[in-house]
Amino acid sequence: DNNIGTGVGAILQHCQALTTLTIGDQNSSVRAEDIAMLRQCRGLTSLAIGAENEIGSNGAKAIAENCHGLASIIIGDGNKIGKTGLTLILKDCQCLTSLTIGSRNGISRATFE
């Protein structure tokens, strides 16, 4: 046992110099609490969260609060961030140059009107 731990939280805790993080599809170990640990990765500029992780609006809030330097965000299908989560990301992630949001995230065309 190397006492590193498991999951995304362990990666973030021990790899604070990350600039790019990709979390694969259906990674059931991803929680909003793990995403909040992104604050430890001050140099993170690119974040991709695969489909069906269901990070929800709490995960989107954690991204918005802790990842102000992100230039690129990809949130795959079925993560259920909702209108509130998207609004927080757009408001707080001022460095964004690229944003990709998949389907089934609780965002409708009306969100952009």
Which three-class secondary structure state does DSSP give residue 72? strand
Predicted confidence (pLDDT) per residue in 51-97, tens digit: 888 788 999 999 999 899 999 999 999 889 999 999 999 999 999 99
Put simply, whether the predicted model's pTM sits higher than 0.85 gets the answer no
| 23-24-28 Cα angle (round to 5) | 90
From the candidate CATH numbers 3.65.10.10, 2.40.10.10, 3.80.10.10, 1.10.760.10, the one assigned to the domain spanning 20-112: 3.80.10.10
Report DSSP state, residue 81.
-
Both structure tokens of 105? 């995230």
Contacts of 22 (CB under 8 A, 6+ apart): 47, 48, 50
Q: What is the pLDDT of residues 31-42, one digit of tens each?
A: 777 777 788 888
Say if CB 68 and CB 93 are below 8 A apart: yes
Lowest mean pLDDT among 45-49, 79-83, 109-113: 109-113
20, β-bridge pairs: 46
For the chain, the structural domain boundaries read 20-112
